[in-house]
Structure 1
Amino acid sequence: MAESYRTIRSEIKGFYKEKGSKFISLAYHVDSLDQVKSRLEALRKEYHDARHHCYAYVIRGGLQEQIRANDDGEPNHSAGDPILGQIRSFELTNVLIVVVRYFGGTKLGVSGLIQAYKTAAEEALSQANVEVVEIKEDFKVEYGYDKTSEVMRIVNDFGVEIKNQEYLEICTLYGRIDPERFGALKDKLSLAQVIARKL
């Protein structure tokens, strides 16, 4: 059975207000740290007059997870961790949540902030359409043009999802497969004197 994870696909917006402070929560699907960085840059421009842009994300690359929570000037662990807690509570991966805060003039205290950031993140995620994604292994195969039909027959037999193909002097096929099937695919291709490499 292939491993899988839960994620969201569409952008979601939530809103929470407490003692005059406004908390705008924005949830996104992300596949890389570059996507996180570009989302944060765009939001800092869009909400340039906000006091805080607190966030958390969980990104899975292969079987490894990258996790981060950022308080962006709020007291330690009062913003990023509650946001991350909601990502965990909804059991989501490859998700970034940013909560933008407009200060309303009344301090909420650490416990008030924790509750506000948690609720704002929950407001966004409670609207999410969750999708289950199977974890796949990305790989590439390089081969001579004369091996094309043999390589295609093997990858079709293994149910490979073909992402891209290049037909040059050396042909290249980029594909995805269930991780537990990669070893057998590699063995079969090596019998055809073709090498498959993980990306």
Structure 2
Amino acid sequence: MRAQDVMSSPVVVLHAEQSVKEAAAVLAGHGFTSAPVVDVDGRLVGVLSEADVLRGRIPVDPRSRIWDEVTDQLPPAMLVAEVMSSPAVAVSPGTDCAQVARMMLADRLRSVPVVDGAEVVGILTRRDLLRVIARDDEEIRVAVCSRLANYGGADRWAVTVHEGVVTVLDEYDDAVDRHVAQVIAEGVPGAVRAVVTSRTREASR
């Protein structure tokens, strides 16, 4: 399963010269935790997260320091380019989702832009991956059957799915075809593992 199979596209992007206030409105309005930032040519230059926006922008309530000495504070940055995280961590459309998941967990990322060259073509979020894990078994079965039909014919395979584990029963006993069928099945979003066997092998047990 590749990033391009489950990413969200098209993408809402922010612009480096956009004001932080405008960017905050975009994040809040769409319910995003972060968004890619592009330059005037549309190239990815960074990522703006909720944390980037919040940092230094929520003033202390003056009532809590009424007797304290007032100290001068630097004004908050006004432009996205001044507060965004850069360079951005990004992946290509062909990146394995298992690699993306490991990256998210290791670096505590909630989302990762997907780029083709320097152009943002999608975004992959933790929620996108959760949707894949939660995908209905019947939807997975139908998708596996469709892909296998394109490879070896619709009547050749019997497919069942339980808790994301795909079992494929092949009419014929061919090691190469079993391997290809396993690769096809495990490439379907939501499939966690595939077991492929043949009717001949099942009958001999």
Q: Same fold (TM over 0.5)?
A: no
TM superposition score normalised by structure 1? 0.28
TM superposition score normalised by structure 2? 0.27
Higher RCO, 1 or 2 (CA under 8 Å, sep at least 6)? 1
In our comparison, the structure showing a higher alpha carbon Rg is 2
- Higher share in strand: 1
